[in-house]
């Protein structure tokens, strides 16, 4: 008998206790899922309710369900008859894509330098990057506005590209540097002895191994640029130059809120981000350096 008790203790819990544990865990997970998903479902049902009926109080029913909100948002034109949604979608794509490309390119090279090279100001540089992250974006709004004004880039998507790429850079550099630090130095030394140049080592050895970190960094840059509202709203004056978040804001006016249009717009805006996330998912894997050095 004494032996039996010992066996149970060593396993931890008996069968009944394990059942209770499972139920408690699952209950907690279900509650968390509801908390997370409820707002999303709410937006979806608002988007599917015709705009006149949609409101905070609900009004959704399956009989009324329609895609009219989506049609309106996507077909909205300005006075010159230009389709605003398509222009704004294009602006968002251009801004986010170029921001990502420039950001990742600069961050990769900078982070590699910080991770591997010894130079004066290395520590200070890294810390300076960190310090810039402590200021909220709003603080920089006025100086940025003046700078963009002088460069003639206000009300211009490339002005936004410039601002977004530099403001995302510190995080990207830190993130990538952290990953580069984990890549064994011997791999690069082996490549040096093999006769490869720094650039060759960077492109053929380091970058392929840093794929997960690059994917995360790219996703972060893209999402930051795609979702950014305050700066875009400040720098952009002409409707045709808006990015999607700014365009969405139009539906929330001072007098009235077009809940149906707003919800439909919000869903349309989030689709590309979800698509990108799924596309990059396969790169977000660990263990890429397995087999390189004996761990």
Query: Binding residues for another protein, per CB under 8 A?
Result: 184, 186-187, 189-197, 200, 204-205, 208-209, 288-294
| Residue closer to another protein, measured from CB, 147 or 187 | 187
Query: Which two three-digit tokens encode residue 248?
Result: 């969405």
Please compute Rg for the chain using Cα positions.
Answer: 26
Dihedral sign, Cα of residue 234, residue 125, residue 97, residue 69: negative
Closest CB to another protein among residues 216, 233: 216
Q: Tokens 């919800």, residue?
A: 263
Report CA-CA distances (Å) from 210 to 151, 153, 177, 233, 284.
35, 34, 10, 35, 10
287: left (phi over 0), alpha (psi -120 to 50) or beta: left
- In angstroms, how far is CA 141 from the centroid of its own chain? 21
188 or 239: whose CB is closer to another protein?
188
Q: Which is nearer to another protein, 61 or 197 (CB)?
A: 197
Directed axis angle between helix 211-227 and helix 84-116, to 10°? 140
**Min separation Cβ 216 and another protein, Å:** 18
- Helices 122-132 and 157-182, packing angle to 10 deg: 130
C-alpha triplet 25, 28, 31: angle, nearest 5°: 150
Q: How many CB atoms within 10 Å of residue 198?
A: 14
Taking the least distance from each CB to another protein, the nearer of 206 and 263 is 206
Work out how close the CB of 285 gets to another protein at its nearest, in angstroms, rounded to a whole number: 12
| Minimum distance from residue 175 beta carbon to another protein (Å) | 20
In whole angstroms, the minimum distance from the beta carbon of 206 to another protein comes to: 10
Nearest-angstrom CA–CA distance, 67 and 264: 9
Identify which of residues 11 and 199 has a Cβ nearer to another protein in the complex.
199
Separation CA 110–CA 168 (nearest Å)? 13
Closest distance to another protein from the beta carbon of 215 (Å): 15
For another protein, the closer CB: 191 or 213: 191
- d(C-alpha 251, C-alpha 242), whole Å: 14
Minimal distance, residue 209 CB to another protein, in Å: 6
CB of 188 to another protein, least distance (A): 9
């Amino acid at each position: 008998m004494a032996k039996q008790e010992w066996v149970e203790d060593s396993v931890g819990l008996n069968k009944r206790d394990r059942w209770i544990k499972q139920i408690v865990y699952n209950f907690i997970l279900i509650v968390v899922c509801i908390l997370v998903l409820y707002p999303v479902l709410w937006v979806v049902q608002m988007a599917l309710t015709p705009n006149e009926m949609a409101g905070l109080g609900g009004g959704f029913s399956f009989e009324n369900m329609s895609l009219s909100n989506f049609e309106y948002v996507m077909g909205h034109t300005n006075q010159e008859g230009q389709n605003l949604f398509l222009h704004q979608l294009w602006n968002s794509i251009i801004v986010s894509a170029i921001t990502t490309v420039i950001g990742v390119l600069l961050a990769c090279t900078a982070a590699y330098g910080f991770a591997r090279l010894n130079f004066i100001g290395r520590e200070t540089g890294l810390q300076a990057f960190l310090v810039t992250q402590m200021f909220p974006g709003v603080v920089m709004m006025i100086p940025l506005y003046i700078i963009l004004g002088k460069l003639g880039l206000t009300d211009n998507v490339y002005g936004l590209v410039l601002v977004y790429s530099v403001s995302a850079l510190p995080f990207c550099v830190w993130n990538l540097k952290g990953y580069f630090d984990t890549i064994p130095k011997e791999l690069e030394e082996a490549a040096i002895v093999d006769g490869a140049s720094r650039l060759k080592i960077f492109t053929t050895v380091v970058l392929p191994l840093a794929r997960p970190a690059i994917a995360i960094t790219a996703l972060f840059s893209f999402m930051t640029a795609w979702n950014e509202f305050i700066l875009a709203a400040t720098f952009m004056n002409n409707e045709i130059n808006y990015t999607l978040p700014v365009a969405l804001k139009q539906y929330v006016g001072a007098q009235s809120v077009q809940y149906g249009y707003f919800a439909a717009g919000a869903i349309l805006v989030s689709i590309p981000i979800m698509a990108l996330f799924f596309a990059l998912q396969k790169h977000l894997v660990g263990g890429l350096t397995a087999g390189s050095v004996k761990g």
